[in-house]
Amino acid sequence: MVTVRLCGRGTLADPIVMMPQTPGGVVFSEGSRVYLDGSYLVVEGFRFEKQQEGYNFFSMTDTTSHCRISECIFDGSACEFAPKGKWGNFVQLRGSYQEVSHCAFLDKKTIGAMLAVNIQDGQAVHHVIRNNFFTRPNTLMSSKGVQINGQESIRVGSSTFSMKDAGCTVADNWFLHCDGEVEIISSKSCFNVYERNLFEESRGTLTLRHGNDCIVRGNWFIGKHKNGSGGVRIIGERHRVEDNYMRELRGYGAHSPVSVIRGFENPKLSDYYQVTDVVIKGNWLVDCDFGMQIAIVGHPENVLMPEGLRIEGNTIICHRKNQIAVEVYDMPALDIKWTNNVIWGGTINGVELKRARKEPSVPDFSAQMQKVRDNAGPSYWKPQFDN
């Protein structure tokens, strides 16, 4: 087991770079790892595999800043399944202004996120996570057959510091067969932007779990009728979920294309905060089994209804009678403003909304989605698919 510590202070014009002679030609294995301490450090083109339980492949100090991890492969496929093992992430980001780009995160079989952002009190973060490929096709279960928590593809923050401003950007990433848990991306901090990410055949959602003021914009969620495939799960205040495209998703409740969760009274940081002043705008939901699910109860203490919720300019198209376009649970006088939504087909439960007389034409996003696929992951590597 080897630990490489890259320490030093480069500059924007003259960073300190560590890379192999041949991209992907040097492998960190059996617990070997890289640790950063400094600024403007670049690690590029390495392969990491056979992660040791309880250890991260990649980590850094809280004072490290402006570093970049690119063109690396983090591969857990050779590991044994370890549902009772120690937690460890593939990559753990600390410090501020880091970038993770054009990397591949593959088949993690131990507990812990593939990429985790850790936040400290009073610290600026502003990381950028872009053009990466993620797949996590296996789900670790407890001895009682219950899905184990902590199997995210990306986690941004934690409940402890969830009310801190992170300001991270997660963009242009490809998530394929990410089935670890309901939270493919778990947002646990404030002022993050999630845009132009492609989620395909993945059993879970982009979850705004803790924190406020996040933007989920221009993403594509393609389920291909896979059970549990979902879209965006909303908890907290002043989020904007806009211009996303969701097609053939089969998730229900917390896994549904758009789910709005009820809050706890007097919540702790780890609880469910009330949904307040959230905007859901300009989204396309096409042939999803359960479209918008509003005021979901997932726990006996989920009692606070959404307030100041604006649902406007969305288009929901259902081609089968058993598909539910919109469902509002219990329907007391909810504080929801419905404006200029187009609903064609399907069932509407718990609220009265106008229906379209003519089926809308669906935009073609195939070119944009293919661009994400083509630019995700290392330049010297492409994902392999079974025929």
Flag whether 260 is in a domain.
yes
Flag whether 148 is in a domain.
yes
Flag whether 188 is in a domain.
yes
Count structural domains, the chain. 1
- Classify 30 in phi/psi space as left (phi over 0), alpha (psi -120 to 50) or beta: left
User: What per-residue confidence (pLDDT) applies to 2?
Assistant: 87
Task: Place 218 in a pLDDT band, splitting at 50, 70 and 90.
Answer: very high
Domain containing residue 192: 113-375
**What pTM, to 2 d.p., does this model score?**
0.96
Distances (CA, A) of 222 to 200, 203, 207, 230, 306: 5, 11, 16, 9, 27
Flag whether 268 is in a domain.
yes
Q: Token pair for residue 139?
A: 């789900």
Tens of pLDDT, residue by residue over 289-315, are: 999 999 998 788 888 999 999 999 999
Q: Are 273 and 237 contacting, i.e. CB atoms less than 8 angstroms apart?
A: yes
CATH number, domain with residue 157? 2.160.20.10
Tens of pLDDT, residue by residue over 143-172, are: 888 888 999 999 999 999 999 999 999 999
Flag whether 66 is in a domain.
no
Q: How far apart are CA 306 and CA 296, in angstroms?
A: 10
User: What per-residue confidence (pLDDT) applies to 69?
Assistant: 98
Flag whether 124 is in a domain.
yes
Contacting residues for 135 by C-beta, under 8 A, at least 6 apart? 105, 106, 107, 175, 176, 177, 178, 383
Flag whether 306 is in a domain.
yes
Return the amino acid letter for 126.
H
User: What per-residue confidence (pLDDT) applies to 334?
Assistant: 75
Flag whether 126 is in a domain.
yes
